[in-house]
Chain A
Amino acid sequence: MLATERESLRHEIAELAEKFEHKRDGMMPMLETIQEKYRCVSDFAMQEVARQLGVFPTEVYGVVSFYSFLSTEPKGKFVIRLCRTLSCDFAGKREVARQLENELGIRFGETTKDRLFSLEYCNCLGMCDNGPALLVNNDVYTRVHPELVSDILEKYRRMFGPASQLEEMEAHHA
């Protein structure tokens, strides 16, 4: 991370903390905001949050590592979460899972090299009557079948054109 980026993140976290009056119960919304923007809560961010809330960095780490929507390592731009619950299983989740792995060339729990997609299982999405269901960030897809998988992925790939992909890769290497 660049020193200037650090400074701006530090500033951002300070502002967030201000909003929550530096109280510990502001921790979750702060972490969620950071995760959403930076796709992870980095070691630096955890220490800043700790400093602002008057807790130990390890405690923040304990919290971040507990919740499945928070991560210490950067997630892909689009996080695909496939519902693993029984009803979706009955409805053909396994086939969708296999197709997702094939299309992306990664296993569940991994992120594509271009940092575009992360693939995960998640707890019941509450779409049991319309399974299999998956989330791409905050978009819900229901009655997904293997055919549909590549269309869904294509949609997000297109949202993220070649130019910006290049940018992304540069950022990654920096």
Chain B
Amino acid sequence: MANVVHIMERYEPGSGLKKALSQSRQDVIRTVRESGIKGRGGAGFPTAVKWNLCAVVQSEKKFIVCNADEGEPGTFKDRLLLAERTDALFDGITIGGYAIGAKLGIIYLRAEYTYMRPGLEAKLAERRTSGLLGTSILGSGCNFDIEVRMGAGAYVCGEETALIQSLEGNRGEPRNRPPYPVNTGLVGAPTSVNNVETLIACAHILAKGPEWFRKFGTEASTGTKLLSISGDCKKPGVYEVPWGISLADVIDLCGGEGAKAVQVGGASGRTVPAAQFRRKLGFEDLATGGSIIIIGPERDLLDVAENFLDFFVEESCGQCTPCREGNPKLLEGVQLLKHGKCSIGYLRELQGLGRTMQAASKCGLGQSSANAFLDITEHFRSEILGRVSERGQGSGAREQGRAS
């Protein structure tokens, strides 16, 4: 278990925040920059760069938004963090708010986590009485507060511009960029949208210093990463590991021996075949928001692809052509494959379509929804080709009934 660390467990409430408030905004951003931390949501944008872009814009109004719309299939670390690491989280939001010059932080909590709202609200109230929120926090003269706002059941709202659209009372349809939220975000004001885990890490970084953070991980991927591990393994759960860990080691950790593939990064991530288990987690190779699904030897990878595509068809915002129309075509293709009715020529067309979706979709959802399909059809050809229809398990029909 040498690979498991617990650096983000113990946190003295207010400690990072106190340090931050004793420094200038620029110094806070410098500290974060020196830590090398990149966004934990999956895209890996350097947090300090984001904060700085936001900080340099002159604006009366600015916002920091904590993206707690944890919707990526197979991810559950935020659920744990929101329940058990609230002090560090709220510190992190406040630090970020201070750094960019925002007066208000917003936690965008997914509707599926509504049951966590009372706990968060209680904690916020507690912080207001203890001077960690509100006017002149910790006597610094800085005003800052945090609000909880709810999602209403849309995976795409995890995309930052869709999240902002939702906060503004719109359909959760991603916006064109540029302009970027750091410039023109919530109600047109500069807005920094950060992942729960990122903000918690930032609180730790401020409390313990950037050098401490850099001790973990690799050059390009500093620090640790929380993994949500599930699927065909003996010990599913949330693990904190340093970046750079290999998939083989991850499988060891959770007892997933014999896996034939690992889904890294959830439905929108990559399907890594056993032959590539030496690959390492990190921004150098396999970037991930932390979802790890172990796929055991008995599983049908077309079932996996079908499950994901079914999900993406439903969760596409319906705005742009490649994603709205492309995902159903890929899903149909998987069903054809299952029934042994897909020609190699048509499969090639669908793979081309998948690449178009990656290149031409409007947002990250459409740009990544074909990943699993492309990986599975590339790495598991002998498994998926030439089936006879009896082998097709499951109904093959799309699961109806959501958002009726």
Contact = CB atoms under 8 A, between A and B. Distances in A.
Contacts of B315: 123
B328 interface: no
- The secondary structure that dominates the A interface is mixed
Given A66-B171, A129-B237, A109 B70 contact: no
Given A28-B149, A68-B403, A87-B293, A124 B74 contact: yes
14 contacts: A24-B168, A25-B167, A28-B169, A67-B172, A81-B112, A84-B307, A85-B267, A86-B293, A107-B401, A120-B401, A126-B70, A128-B75, A128-B228, A128-B230
Interface in B365-404: 394, 399-404
A27 interface: yes
Contacts of A28: 149-150, 152, 166-167, 169
A90 B231 contact: yes
Interface string A103-138: 000011110000000011111111111110001001
Contacts of A67: 111, 151-154, 172, 403
B311 interface: yes
Contacts of A69: 111, 151-153
A63 interface: yes
Interface of A: 24-29, 31-32, 35, 53, 55, 62-63, 66-71, 73, 81, 84-87, 89-90, 94, 107-110, 119-131, 135, 138-140
A129 B236 contact: yes
B376 to A, nearest CB: 13
Interface in B59-77: 70-76
Nearest to A89: B307
B20 to A, nearest CB: 28
Interface size for chain B: under 10, 10 to 19, 20 to 34, or 35 or more residues? 35 or more
Given A84-B311, A122-B153, A135-B112, 16 more contacts: A28-B167, A66-B317, A67-B111, A68-B403, A70-B152, A85-B74, A87-B230, A87-B231, A108-B400, A108-B402, A110-B401, A123-B153, A124-B76, A126-B112, A128-B230, A129-B238
A84 to B, nearest CB: 6
Nearest to A31: B152
Contact of A66 (B154, B399, B400): B154
A29 B402 contact: no
Contacts of A124: 71-76, 112
Contacts of A85: 73-74, 267, 307, 311
B170 interface: yes
B155 interface: yes
B400 A109 contact: yes
Contacts of A86: 73-74, 231, 263, 267, 293, 304, 307-308
B402 A121 contact: yes
Contacts of A123: 71, 73, 112, 153, 155, 311, 315, 402
Interface string B212-226: 000000000000000
Contacts of A63: 169-171
Contacts of A108: 399-402
Contact of B402 (A109, A127, A131): A109
